[in-house]
Amino acid sequence: MLIRQLFDAQTFTFTYLVADGINSEAIIIDPVDTKIEQYMRLLKELNLKLKYVFDTHVHADHITAAGKLRELTNCITLLGEATGATCVSKTVCDGEKIHVGAIEFTVLETPGHTQDSFCLYTDGMVFTGDTLFVRGTGRTDFQAGNPVDQYNSIVNKIFTLPDATIVYPGHDYKGRTQSTIGHERESNARLGNNQTRENFIELMKNLDLPYPAKIDIALPANKACGTVSSDCQNSGN
């Protein structure tokens, strides 16, 4: 299997290009609009055909490259069915299978960070978007986020995966690139070591984090697969 972990330093976002080898089909997970040239260059260098683009949720901190990549490659764009987005080629639901070459991904519905958060699992690895980070979790204070749902999604679904499963997060702010389910179950700062649901809820309610700087542009744009409306452009937001 071929995996490229790409990083956007402006938004601390990880994007993943995954294929079952060179000269094969590929999927890109959580692409950022400012990195399109990099993605296209990688696809060409590795002689990959982009089959899918998957956004783990409607992002608030960056604009997706999904729509533009579809224009350039004729790929299939995917979002979870809970988004209600109509711009994507296809919405997916919990337990659905996605095939990229010989790789079979299972879609995991993991609401909490947002009501439309999803993860992708394949043997030995899980791409967790903003649901589970290395030693942390995504916030739950906007986009209909819910700490109870977040707790249940992580503890009752993601943490049931095998200990050795590699966790590939959607963001990191301290230079960490991956973890494992076993490590996160034991030592995650918010949920590890059998943290109670009540303590987690209290912690999440009191994070007091600033809203993402691009939220007013990113949310409507990402519901339109990365198209920024003229109203947002003209307002200077």
Q: Which positions of the chain have pLDDT values less than 70?
A: 229-237
CATH of the domain at 196: 3.60.15.10
The CA distance from 1 to 17, in Å, is 11
The CA distance from 65 to 2, in Å, is 21
DSSP 112-140: SSSTT-EEEEETTEEEEETTEETTEE---
Closest CA to 173 of 143, 133, 206, 200: 133
pLDDT computed for residue 22 by the predictor:
85
Domain that holds residue 104: 2-235
**Helix or strand (DSSP H, E) at 49:** strand 49-54
Domain count, the chain: 1
pLDDT computed for residue 83 by the predictor:
86
Greatest alpha-carbon pair distance for the chain in Å reads 49
pLDDT computed for residue 229 by the predictor:
59
pTM for this predicted structure: 0.94
Give 191-197's long-range contacts (Cβ < 8 A, gap of 24+): 191/137, 191/151, 191/154, 191/155, 191/159, 197/148, 197/151, 197/155
pLDDT computed for residue 70 by the predictor:
98
pLDDT computed for residue 72 by the predictor:
98
